[in-house]
Amino acid sequence: MTAVPAEHDSAALLLICDQCGRSYDTGHPHAVWRLLWTRAVADGWSGRDRAIGPHSCSYCTG
């Protein structure tokens, strides 16, 4: 899938797993793509380092 605007703040991004639909949010109100992806990878996510994906959550990756 892709990184989409977060519900709580359209300036922040939400990452969606292409396999199961889980989402990942940094909780940072102004998370840009690079910050979101860096934190997601540190938490076990994998995929292309581009907002257009594909991306897999730590559950689907593991």
pLDDT tens-digit map of 36-46: 899 999 999 99
Name the residue with higher pLDDT: 43 or 61: 43
Domain edges within the chain: 3-61
The residue whose two tokens read 């897999």 is 56
Question: What pLDDT sits at residue 11?
Answer: 61
Question: What pLDDT sits at residue 40?
Answer: 93
Question: What pLDDT sits at residue 26?
Answer: 80
Cβ partners under 8 Å of residue 19, min gap 6: 56, 57, 60
The residue whose two tokens read 């690079």 is 34
The reported pTM is 0.79
Cβ partners under 8 Å of residue 59, min gap 6: 17, 20, 22
